[in-house]
Amino acid sequence: MAISAKLSRWFWRKSIQRKETEPPALTDVASDDLYFIPTNVNLDYVPTFGFERFLNKQHEAWAEWPLTPDRIIDHRIFGWLRRADALKLYEMAAMCKGDILELGTHQGLSSHIMAQALREFGDTGNRRIYTVDLDAPCIVKARENLAGEIAEGLVDARVGEAGEVCRNYIAQGKRFGFIFVDHSHYYGPMREVCQLLGQLVEPGGFVLFHDFTDPRSAFPEEGKPEPDFGVLAACEEALPAKEFEYFGAFGCAGLYRRTQAPPSWFVRLTRPLIPFAGVIALTYYCAHPILIFESALVNYLFWWLGCAALLVLGIIQVFRIQNIWSTVLGILLCLVSAPVWVLSSFLAPHIVNGKDTGYELVQEVELQNSLVRLYRTNGGATTAFGIHVRQEIPTTGLVFVRSVGHFYPCYSVQAARSGANSILIYDRQQECEKWPEKQTRESWTLALSRFVYF
Ligand SMILES: C[S@@+](CC[C@H](N)C(=O)[O-])C[C@H]1O[C@@H](n2cnc3c(N)ncnc32)[C@H](O)[C@@H]1O
């Protein structure tokens, strides 16, 4: 998938919207005609993820799909889906992460729609739909209808009883990013599955219940012509309230999201410290870089933008107002990163014709596989000159770097090769005031690693 498409999906995932906050009351889904959509609830399809209307042409096609007189999708694979159900299934399969579980395959229409989405949005191609049905002839028919999808590895269709399948997956530790519950309409089996879903769906994952807004759900006890028709009642009573948030009704289906687990005290305490670790790492890296760009201009822009990013992080931290500590840390981060950023802005005039005039190359000594380069540092009028000695291996556009010596104040020292991987540094004119302790000005031999770090 193109980077732009990946970025769009990242943004869409960040802006998830609830259509409603409360599920409809049982009486809201009542309708005079048992097989038609109730009018007291808004059942239109709207995206849950942050995109506009449709994900692509294939998704949009389900909004226009021909219908039977009962207003269900008229497809070569028989099923009981409405247009809004199909649109929501496609969206969830495309946008949720991880594998998909479907309880109730029938002839495979819903699996077919979800497999379409996986083919388009399945990332690395390792996401799969696991669909189960109690009825063996249904699975035979579904396998026939989904032969292509099964051959592609998008669908795994098996005979299985929903509750038992859920318990087996829980025992195996298997989790799903999206679950489509469409096996039974009766209160008992629905209740059983609802109680298990919290252990099956990943935090932040979704569950879509079909026949949720079916008018037969309105009066579970006396529901005619199917008594005990209780999808809506089972969801309301048996889904653990703290673990699921209601997200809205779409066509005949109701959508719930498994709430994110609250971060542990350790994560909450350490998260605000991450930007500080960034400042420390950046500052340390400025002084002891490991890998730099060959171009002084690109290097400068990298540091300058890095400092700016930390400043922005600090400002965000202040305005997020999570708790007093994160605000205090945000203020401190701004206080540290703002001056560093302003200071680095002043260094811009040092870059002339792509070269850093404050860091002038004065000597280069060739070793077996690397170079030793001596740079004269010039920090401006208020500072003295210095000499920085670095071992480097230039590659295309990048340079592996290790700092091996720093003389300050110092205008010039000389270096000569004294072995395959060693150099002799000397200061015959005795110009450098600060010479490393225990070394004589005539002979400081430095043994270096063959490949800079090893
Ligand atoms: C409404 S259909 C599924 C339709 C399918 N999801 C679609 O949209 O094309 C319900 C299916 O669930 C199956 N079923 C009923 N009770 C079940 C249970 N306890 N476990 C597994 N499957 C069950 C039925 O055999 C039936 O094929």
Angle at 384 between CA 379 and CA 390, to 5 degrees: 70
pLDDT(4) > 90: no
Q: What pLDDT is stored for residue 227 in this prediction?
A: 67
Q: What pLDDT is stored for residue 313 in this prediction?
A: 83
Sign of CA dihedral 315, 316, 320, 324: negative
Max avg pLDDT among 215-229, 292-306, 323-337: 292-306
Phi, psi of 340, rounded to the nearest 5 degrees: -65, -40
Per DSSP, the residues of 147-201 read HHHHHTTSEEEEE--HHHHHHHHHHHT--EEEEEE-S--BHHHHHHHHHHHTTTE
- Is the distance from the beta carbon of residue 392 to the nearest atom of ligand 1 less than 6 Å? no
- Is the distance from the beta carbon of residue 364 to the nearest atom of ligand 1 less than 6 Å? no
Q: What pLDDT is stored for residue 1 in this prediction?
A: 57
- Alpha-carbon span 445 to 210, nearest angstrom: 78
pLDDT(84) > 70: yes
Counting beta carbons within 10 angstroms of the beta carbon of residue 228, is it exposed (0 to 12), middle (13 to 18) or buried (19 or more)? middle
Report which ligand 1 atom has the smallest distance to the Cα of 108.
9
Confidence of residue 47 (pLDDT cuts 50, 70, 90): very high
Average pLDDT estimate for 442-453 = 74
Domain extent listing, the chain: 3-258, 265-352, 358-447
| % of the chain exceeding 70 in pLDDT | 92
- Is the distance from the beta carbon of residue 182 to the nearest atom of ligand 1 less than 6 Å? yes
Confidence of residue 34 (pLDDT cuts 50, 70, 90): low
User: Which residue is it, tokens 């070394």?
Assistant: 439
* 363 vs 31 pLDDT, higher one: 363
Report which ligand 1 atom has the smallest distance to the Cα of 112.
9
Of 324, 278, 329, 328, which Cα lies nearest the Cα of 305? 278
- Is the distance from the beta carbon of residue 292 to the nearest atom of ligand 1 less than 6 Å? no
CB 257 within 8 A of CB 247: yes
The CATH number given to 3-258 is 3.40.50.150
- Is the distance from the beta carbon of residue 117 to the nearest atom of ligand 1 less than 6 Å? no
Q: Report strand pairing: 359-366 vs 253-258.
A: unpaired
Q: Which of 157-161, 208-212, 305-309, 324-328 comes out lowest in average pLDDT?
A: 324-328
Confidence of residue 294 (pLDDT cuts 50, 70, 90): confident
> CA-CA distances (angstroms) from residue 403 to 151, 293, 334, 392, 453?
57, 15, 29, 9, 11
Q: Which of 61-70, 76-85, 216-225, 368-377 comes out lowest in average pLDDT?
A: 216-225
Confidence of residue 220 (pLDDT cuts 50, 70, 90): low
Q: What pLDDT is stored for residue 284 in this prediction?
A: 73
Helices and strands (H, E) in the chain, number of each type: 13, 17
Average pLDDT estimate for 81-96 = 96
Sign of CA dihedral 365, 366, 367, 369: positive
Q: Which of 40-54, 105-119, 168-182 comes out lowest in average pLDDT?
A: 40-54
Report which ligand 1 atom has the smallest distance to the Cα of 180.
6
pLDDT(384) > 90: no
Q: Ligand 1 centroid to 189 CA: how many Å?
A: 11
Average pLDDT estimate for 256-272 = 79
Of 189, 201, 183, 86, which Cα lies nearest the Cα of 133? 183
Of 227, 234, 195, which Cα lies nearest the Cα of 212? 234
Q: Ligand 1 centroid to 136 CA: how many Å?
A: 11
